[in-house]
Amino acid sequence: MEKTKQLYEGKAKKVYATDNEDLCIVSYKDDATAFNGLKKGTIVGKGVVNNRMTNMMMQLLEKNGVPTHFVEELSERDTLVKKVSIVPLEVIIRNVSAGSFAKRYGVEEGIPFDRPTIEFSYKNDELGDPLLNTYHALALKLATKEEIETIEAYAFKVNEVLKAYFLTLGVKLIDFKLEFGRLKDGTIVLADEISPDTCRFWDAKTNEKLDKDRFRRDLGGVEDAYKEIFKRVTQGK
Ligand code: TMP
């Protein structure tokens, strides 16, 4: 399958059309941004890690009953996916306090929750991805009630599967962001990526951060963190 024309360039990926109108090619870049694009940089090798890792996670989730857009890995950075229209909601699941949750509610990072939380942001860069609830999403007609229920059920299922999986690699899944899309027939599938850009991963023993927070917070060792999590995922330990 060949790329025909570029459809879209995002902050971390490009999307291309193919000869098949139902399929696209996603190409992962090394570009990194944070704080809605205010901070910019490059994480060498990130595109390769995020492409390969996302595809492994998508296949694991498919096996566990979560439909995804994944079709086939084409190369180090390129993957064939089903064409979707993205539901403009960023779906965030949290198991442990961190990031904007800790800041907004004035709590320390690292407090485990008795049960996971879910929240939605309106995927809109001009507005800075504002937080919203289900009622707001319905009022803005971003999705139907049924779609939101499906998305919530899939998001919690993703959490159960990934939390258990990462624990076998000695990694705590702190929180993550998902995006869903609609196929031509309206079916909701998991889309976008599952990578150190979109998840917080802490080493289970040391709590060392193995994700993009190293870039966001200028902690150093960014490339090494991506390499370490990738090594654990590919070597299964
Ligand atoms: P937050 O604590 O900053 O709200 O982030 C929660 C999770 O979502 C974290 O794992 C990083 C991920 N995330 C994205 O993937 N994209 C974003 O634009 C933001 C703000 C967070």
Taking only the tens place, the pLDDT of each residue in 24-78 is: 999 999 999 999 999 999 999 999 999 999 999 999 999 999 999 999 999 999 9
Distance 199 CA to ligand 1 centre (A): 7
Which residue has a Cα nearest atom 13 of ligand 1? 198
> Is the domain of 91 the same as that of 65?
no
Task: Tell me the pLDDT tens digit for each residue of 73-125.
Answer: 999 999 999 999 999 999 999 999 999 999 999 999 999 999 999 999 999 99
**78 and 89 part of one domain:** no
Domain count, the chain: 2
The answer to the question of residue 118 being in a domain is yes
d(C-alpha 24, C-alpha 20), whole Å: 8
Residue 1 domain-assigned? no
Task: Give the residue whose CA is nearest to atom 18 of ligand 1.
Answer: 36
Q: Ligand 1 centroid to 160 CA: how many Å?
A: 19
Nearest CA to ligand 1 atom 5: 99
Which residue's alpha carbon is nearest to atom 15 within ligand 1?
A: 198
Spacing, Cα 130 to ligand 1 middle (Å): 12
The residue segments making up the domain with residue 140 are 85-235
Nearest CA to ligand 1 atom 12: 198
3-state SS class at 39 = strand
Which residue, 51, 82, 113, sits at the end of a domain? 82
Q: How far apart are CA 233 and CA 100, in angstroms?
A: 27
Q: Which of 29, 61, 82 is the last residue of a domain?
A: 82
* 60, 94: one domain: no
**Which of 82, 99, 126 lies at the terminal end of a domain, its last residue?**
82
Of the chain, the percentage scoring pLDDT greater than 70 comes to 100
Nearest to 195 by CA among 64, 15, 29: 29
Residue 134 CA, chain-centre distance (Å), reads 20
What's the rounded Cα separation, in Å, for the pair 5 and 19?
Answer: 10
**pTM of the predicted protein model:** 0.97
Q: Which residues line ligand 1 (CB under 6 A)?
A: 92, 98-101, 175-177, 198-200
Token duo for residue 98: 């961190």
- Cα–ligand 1 centroid distance for 216 (angstroms): 11
Residue 1 pLDDT: 86
- Which ligand 1 atom is at minimum distance from the Cα of 129? 18
